[in-house]
Chains A and B, each alone.
Chain A
Amino acid sequence: MKHVLTTFAVAAAVGLAAAAASAQTLNAVKSRGALNCGTNTGLAGFSQPDAQGNWTGLDVDFCRAIAAAVFNDPTKVKFVPLTAKDRFTALQSGEVDVLVRNTTWTSSRDTSLGLNFTGVNYYDGQGFMVRKALKVNSALELNDAAVCVQQGTTTELNLADYFRANRMRLKTVTFATIDEAVKAYDTGRCDAYTTDASGLYSSRLRLANPDEHIVLPEIISKEPLGPAVRHGDDQWFDIVKWTHFAMLNAEELGITKANVDEMLKSDNPEVKRLLGTEGNYGEQLGLTKDWVYRIVKHVGNYGEVFERNVGQGSPLKIARGLNALWTKGGLQYGPPVR
């Protein structure tokens, strides 16, 4: 029954998505006067409300960057908090224009669900946290360790695979919720705790003595998190994709929120092309010449957004790691604007 329903829902969604293909998302967004952006209902560093109820976070800032590019006003976003269950329907049915909800890019989601992932705005992956006192420097030294993990997740499967592949003995201690797993790890029921690396950093803050714990360097799974749009509107797909690339290129060229006005006077041809003082690259996207200037002016470059929300400027203090620019040993690479 569940299968029948799911198939039905997906078929209906794909049908609707195809019907919506001719309707230009950009025009719809412009005539509505606001971008509908699907975000998480609450995830530390990615999408969370502050004391005034304003949404903040890495994913949230990506939504604001798109709004800045389209409207020159980062506040013209209507955030639609979505649960893991209703996120794809919301995108398929047109309730949101773009889904920026720490969604892992997988082949089936990219194809049969009728979505297009536009890139990876955060490379996540499963990692381990242990006590410093254990004197373990690598996940490969965790033979015979008891590991706390949330039940029924891919995390649990990845853990078993990793230990088997490396011929290590594993004692899993499973819990229904992340909170319980963290609590059990904190009270010493397990030697290690595993979940996605971004989750490890936010869990660590909830421990009695965060400084006594370290996150091990090994990442044992690929969890590329990225924004997604519907199939069938290539122009909108390009806009969302290049919003990310624009923020990466801005960081690479050293254009920040603070110096973007000075950079307008730069003689560097790459900077000129990016900020629209030369060429009409923004117009090719269906936006304005100064679209990157708007993004950086209102939201900042990728590095600024990262540090502010999850990096050194936030309590999470997540290292750039895979999310560093390609010039600094990471995977974030923005194709050239020309």
Chain B
Amino acid sequence: MTTANSVTKLDPEHAIAYVREVPIEASPPPVTARGALGWLRANFFATPFDTVLTIVMLLLIAWAIPPVIDFLIVDAVWSGSDREACLATPQHPEVGACWAFVRNRFAYFVYGSYPLAERWRVDIFFAMLAVGIVWMLKLDAPRRDIGAIYFFVVLPIASYVLLRGMPALGLPAVETALWGGVLVTIVVATVGIVASLPAGIMLALGRRSRMPAVRLFSIIYIEFVRGVPLITVLFMASVMLPLFVPEAYSPDKLVRALVGIAMFASAYMAEVVRAGLQAIPRGQYEGAMALGLSYSQMMRFVILPQALKITIPNIVNTYIGLFKDTTLVFIVGIFDLLKTIEAARVDPSWATPVTSTTGYAFAALFYFACCYMMSRYAKAMEARLAHGERR
């Protein structure tokens, strides 16, 4: 009591000695938690275990990266007309990647055996496809409704006419056996990707349908197709089918592979989409029904937008897997990019110790670039769609 009194009785002059009017300037964080050092410590050396990991990784990088750079860039041979350019000589004892080989065969890797005079048609196809993809994928692009018609109706018909040829329009027919390289890889992957999403959504909805026949069909289809390796499907299509169908009615080899891949990808996509459908709380279904929405309205406006959003990582995962699975068509004698590289690397006029490695490095760069772009796009898409949740 007395103390309290004494405080209240203190005169203002005296109190100033105890109350600061200006806050003390914050002292800098300790040197170990600030700047580059602090960042390093927080991210690389926070605990002894982290420190060990960091050192191991650094050693791994030092061991693995420089030889790769040496091989791919420093010692690489960039130009030349035949194998002589990529052979080790006393002046040039260490030979890295033989990019001269890739440059020499680049057109073959892109077009395969597509007739030289008709290759402009493939170029137009690539350009049209690029326009379509950008139009569809860029969410703020103008008139995306026309874009969808272009992508799903105009583009398939135009590509068929362009690539396969139509003598009536003055475009000589080009057998699919002559297609090859990047062209085939892109065609197979695009057909698989574009066909599998709608088919997969249908199958997923069918599997959760209350109609027994639809549900049974979807379950049998999905389980049967998923239960068989893709390689078997392709092999059956190319080896067994011709034995049962007269030669004249036997479908084109590439078409057989395209159908096989599209069927296969749809079954996987169905399960991915079903996972998304199951993750949507029942309340969403009930709410939609309470609003009087029909089944298709409920799916279109309430359920699928949410379900597809949460499955984007899985959908892209499936796409990336599918993109790389397209190389399996080589077992039925279709020349995709990898197979054209395989065929070119045996050429005796380019046979050197590094030719095969260079060919495979080129394939790796191509597949990495494509898959990485897909994954970056998916990431941007997720960030954009997650705006609602961050509020």
Contacts and interface: CB of A to CB of B under 8 A. Distances in A.
A49 B113 contact: yes
A176 B238 CA distance: 26
Contact of B335 (A45, A78, A81, A202): A81
B76 to A, nearest CB: 17
Given A16-B243, A80-B177, A81-B335, A207 B348 contact: no
Interface residues of A, number: 42
A90 interface: yes
Interface residues of B, number: 43
A54 B105 CA distance: 12
A53 B180 contact: yes
Nearest to A39: B333
B343 A41 contact: yes
A13 B356 CA distance: 37
A205 B243 contact: no
Interface in A171-203: 179, 186, 202
A86 B348 contact: no
Residue from the set A53, A207, A314 with the largest chain B CB neighbour count within 10 Å:
A53
Given A86-B239, A89-B243, A41 B333 contact: yes
Contact of A51 (B105, B247, B346, B351): B105
Contacts of B235: 85-86
A207 B352 CA distance: 7
A205 B348 contact: yes
A72 interface: no
A206 interface: yes
A312 to B, nearest CB: 13
B296 to A, nearest CB: 44
A12 B243 CA distance: 7
Contacts of B353: 186, 206-208
Contacts of A314: 348-349
Interface string A77-91: 011111101100110
B179 to A, nearest CB: 10
Nearest to A90: B242
A231 B362 CA distance: 44
A207 B250 CA distance: 44
Contact of B343 (A9, A42, A207, A208): A42
Interface of B: 83, 88, 104-105, 107-108, 111-114, 116, 175, 177-178, 180, 235, 238-240, 242-244, 247, 250, 330-333, 335, 339-340, 342-344, 346-349, 351-353, 355-356
5 contacts: A13-B243, A41-B330, A54-B113, A89-B240, A93-B250
Sorted nearest first, the 5 A-B pairs with minimum C-beta distance are A42-B343, A53-B113, A205-B351, A93-B242, A315-B348
